[in-house]
Amino acid sequence: MDFMKVIDQTVREIKREVNLKVLKVPEIEQKVLDATDDEPWGPHGTTLAEIAQGTKKFAECQMVMNVLWTRLTETDRNWRHVYKALTVIEYLVANGSERAVDDIIEHTFQISSLSCFEYVEPNGNDSGINVRKKVENIVLLLNDKDKIQATRNKASANRDKCHSLQNEEKLLFSFTLIFTIVRWLNNAI
């Protein structure tokens, strides 16, 4: 079983490299494809942040949004593509550029059309419910401009807090390093 996982991972990595080098798929587009793949786990926070940062550039924003709108047209067994595209959209509402948010709002109808999404796994598990619940949350958010702004403000405050903590960690590391060097020098003398 582990051997099959290794082969599967290797095939995915080869496909990604072919997309980037042979097919010349732009890096940002590949990141969105990776974030909305069919794996049973969600997109990584770092990837989401890079995608959100990419939406600040006009051409990259168009690429990001085009991949997302295409992913929302997937059906049935590709429900994870749809679900993960909705996850990225939800993240972009909070962290993406204003241009991305405007584009998402313009596509509210396309998003809301997924409120009846259905897919039942062969084992009887209703995977469509994940998509329906995500759609419900996003549409509620998109229909309330104040809620969108509050979400963006909260995300901005959290980003600022994280950057502040990272700077404090760097400062603490620097002081620890200096203290260690001074102590070592005192012992060496």
Pair (91, 39) in one structural domain: yes
Pair (158, 139) in one structural domain: no
CB 16 within 8 A of CB 30: yes
Pair (45, 71) in one structural domain: yes
Pair (123, 66) in one structural domain: yes
Pair (38, 107) in one structural domain: yes
Residues 125-175 pLDDT 10s:
999 999 999 999 999 999 999 999 999 999 988 876 655 545 556 655 665
Pair (99, 156) in one structural domain: no
Pair (10, 75) in one structural domain: yes
* Residue bearing tokens 């313009």: 106
Task: Report the alpha-carbon distance of residue 18 to residue 160 in Å, rounded.
Answer: 37
* Residue bearing tokens 């109808």: 109
Regions of the chain with pLDDT less than 70: 1, 3-6, 8-9, 11-12, 14-23, 160-175, 177, 179, 182, 185, 188-189
Task: Assign residue 29 the CATH number of its domain.
Answer: 1.25.40.90
Cα dihedral 54, 75, 106, 44 sign? negative
Pair (32, 67) in one structural domain: yes
What was the pLDDT predicted at 189?
Answer: 64
What pTM, to 2 d.p., does this model score? Answer: 0.77
Pair (61, 120) in one structural domain: yes
**Pick from 97, 85, 93, 99: which is nearest to 143 by CA?**
93
Pair (101, 182) in one structural domain: no
* Residue 74 parent element (H or E): none
- Residue 79 amino acid letter: W
Structurally, the chain folds into a number of domains equal to 2
Pair (188, 139) in one structural domain: no
Residue 20 belongs to domain spanning: 2-143
